[in-house]
Structure 1
Amino acid sequence: MRVQFVLSEIATGLRRNFSMVLSVILVTFVSLTFVGAAMLMQMQISSMKDYWYDRVEVAVFLCPPDSESPNCATGEVTDEQIQEIRDQLESPELAAYVDEVYFEDKETAHRLFEEQFADTSLAGTIPVEQMSQSFRVSLIDPEQYEIINEYFSTTPGVEEVVDQNRLLDQLFSIINIATVIAIGIAVLMLVCAVLLIGTTIRLSAQSRRRETGIMRLVGASNTLIQLPFVLEGVVAATIGALLAGGTLAAIVQFFIGGWLQPRVPTFTLVGLGDVVAIGVGLVVIGVLMAVISSLLTLRRYLKV
């Protein structure tokens, strides 16, 4: 009997405040969509970091023809200088830092360049003889880049030492900024949702003062009186959270999985399994948001 009464009170409240409930659903949907998108971005960033940081190298670029680097004042790197650099990289002094070394000659560099820019205007613009030779160095600890830089930054025949980690850090910094912006928007929208839930519950409580007064007189408990109001907010927030999860699932299924993944097959992008895990979290956030907002509102506007 009590369950039937609570359900009827919930239906009455949702019907009386339909426009406000719809607003709560929409604001919760938008805010939790931003929250879920930010979570997915962070999961993807972590996955990309694990993938790329295990593969990044330190590139020791050797002097090409006509280089303006002070180390290249004598012209293009000679075979003797290349051998000296190789010996240093394979020396016992660097054995604790260097995992693997391989040499990229002009022909290999040119082939990789043509493959990378095959469909652009840069293809075919640089002849083989103008390509830079380089040593590609995999480190045992990628953060020990400065050791290699100190050894070779002033070595004759070395034009430049480049740490690919730094390039990736710049990329991930930009993505992290976008994530922070998304989180900021989500927090703002969540505040709006909390305020809307509180307003909806307050209007519902004021419109049913007579019913709650009668319930008090017949000895109904505080929990029984407050429960329908709390569940109204929970229902609206849950619907918004489910819509947010469904939207993220559609984006991952049709855009990321259907369109983007085939174009970047080198590493795995977020999938529906990640969305399911995040979707559960969004529902929990929505429910907690509704419960807390409802209880705080009822303490002020519904004296029981």
Structure 2
Amino acid sequence: MRLAFILSEIGSGIRRNLSMVTSVILVTFISLTFVGAAGLFQLQINQMKGYWYDRVQVTLYLCVDNSSETSCATGPVTKDQRAAIQAKLESEQFAPYVDTVTYESQDEALAHFRDQFANSPIVDSVTADQLPESFRVSLVDAEKYEVIDEAFSSEPGVDAVSDQRDFLEAIFRYMNWASVVALAIAGVMTFCAILLIATTIRLSAFSRRRETGIMRLVGASKAVIQLPFILEGVIAAVIGAVLASAALWGASRFVIDGWLANTFPQTAFISSQQVLILVPVLILLGAVLAGLSSLLTLRRYVKV
């Protein structure tokens, strides 16, 4: 009997405040979509870090005519210097750090340059002798870049030691900022959702003040009186969370899996299955926010 009463009160409250409940659903949907988007950004960043850091290479650029480093004081790298550098890289001393070593000649560097800058007007003005030879070193552990840098930065014949992580970290830094911005917007929208839920519950309680007064007189408990109002907000917020989850899954399924993954096959993207991790989090977050907001509103404005 009590359950039937609570359900009837919830239905009555939703019908009376249908426009406000719809507003709660929409605002919750938008705010939790931003929360989920921030979560997806972070999942994508972690996925790309794990993928690209495993493929990070350290590049040892060898001396050319115009090199200004002290290790290039004798001029362009000699055959003996090149052989010594390669032998050192492949020695037992660096075996725990170095996975593979690949040599790139000036002609190969020019071919790569022309592929990379095929549409640039300067491509025809660059010659092979202007580009350095290099050793591209794949590491066992990308975090051990400093070992190679310290050992070879002053090695005769080595002009510079470059780590791709510097470039990748800049990209990930911008992506992290995008995630923070999305989370900040989500915070603002969530605050708006909390205020709207509180207003909706307050109006619903005010419109039914006669019923609540009668319930108090007949001895109804505080929980029985407050529960229908709380559940109205929770139901609206959960519907908004479900819609947000569906929108995020759809974006992942059709935009990430269907378009980005095919357009950029060399990039590690998150899958739509990973998005499902966020679904229970969003639903729980929506329910908790709505429940707490409703409860605090009722304690302040509804004396039972």
TM-score by length of 1: 0.92
Shift in Å, 1:244: 1.2
- After the TM superposition, which of the residue ranges 62-71 and 279-288 deviates more from structure 2? 62-71
| CA distance in structure 2 between the aligned counterparts of 1:196 and 1:40, rounded to whole angstroms | 26
Give the aligned partner of residue 92 of structure 2.
92
Shift in Å, 1:93: 3.0
Shift in Å, 1:245: 1.4
Question: How far does the alpha carbon of each residue in 1:7-33 deviate from its partner, in whole angstroms, 9 at most, with x for none?
Answer: 222222222223322222222111101
Shift in Å, 1:223: 2.0
Give the aligned partner of residue 108 of structure 1.
108
- After the TM superposition, which of the residue ranges 219-228 and 171-180 deviates more from structure 2? 219-228
Q: Look up the equivalent residue of 1:228 and give its one-letter code.
A: P
Q: Look up the equivalent residue of 1:287 and give its one-letter code.
A: A
Give the aligned partner of residue 273 of structure 1.
273
Give the aligned partner of residue 246 of structure 2.
246
Shift in Å, 1:198: 1.2
| CA distance in structure 2 between the aligned counterparts of 1:105 and 1:228, rounded to whole angstroms | 76
| CA distance in structure 2 between the aligned counterparts of 1:193 and 1:8, rounded to whole angstroms | 25
Over the residues paired in the alignment, what is the CA RMSD in angstroms? 2.0
- After the TM superposition, which of the residue ranges 27-36 and 219-228 deviates more from structure 2? 219-228
Give the aligned partner of residue 234 of structure 2.
234
Change (3 A) 1:265 1:122: farther
| CA distance in structure 2 between the aligned counterparts of 1:26 and 1:119, rounded to whole angstroms | 47
Give the aligned partner of residue 183 of structure 1.
183
Question: How far does the alpha carbon of each residue in 1:18-77 deviate from its partner, in whole angstroms, 9 at most, with x for none?
Answer: 332222222211110110001111111111111111110111111234334443343321
Match of 1:280, SS? helix
| CA distance in structure 2 between the aligned counterparts of 1:5 and 1:116, rounded to whole angstroms | 71
Change (3 A) 1:120 1:246: farther
Match of 1:166, SS? helix
Give the aligned partner of residue 287 of structure 1.
287
Check conservation: 2:36, 2:248, Cα contact below 8 A: yes
| CA distance in structure 2 between the aligned counterparts of 1:197 and 1:173, rounded to whole angstroms | 36
- After the TM superposition, which of the residue ranges 36-45 and 272-281 deviates more from structure 2? 272-281
Q: Look up the equivalent residue of 2:89 and give its one-letter code.
A: L
Shift in Å, 1:99: 2.7
Shift in Å, 1:206: 1.5
Q: Aligned ranges for residues 203-218 of structure 1 at < 5 Å?
A: 203-218=203-218
Shift in Å, 1:290: 0.8
- Count of residues in Structure 1 that have an aligned counterpart in Structure 2: 304
Kindly indicate whether residue 152 of structure 2 is the aligned counterpart of residue 152 of structure 1: yes
- After the TM superposition, which of the residue ranges 282-291 and 221-230 deviates more from structure 2? 221-230
Kindly indicate whether residue 174 of structure 2 is the aligned counterpart of residue 163 of structure 1: no
Residue ranges of structure 2 left out of the alignment (5+ in a row): none
Give the aligned partner of residue 193 of structure 1.
193
Check conservation: 2:234, 2:291, Cα contact below 8 A: yes
| CA distance in structure 1 between the aligned counterparts of 2:83 and 2:71, rounded to whole angstroms | 16
Q: Look up the equivalent residue of 1:109 and give its one-letter code.
A: A
| CA distance in structure 2 between the aligned counterparts of 1:93 and 1:275, rounded to whole angstroms | 44
Match of 1:77, SS? coil
Change (3 A) 1:124 1:248: farther
Shift in Å, 1:125: 4.8
Percent identical among aligned pairs is: 53
- After the TM superposition, which of the residue ranges 140-149 and 110-119 deviates more from structure 2? 110-119
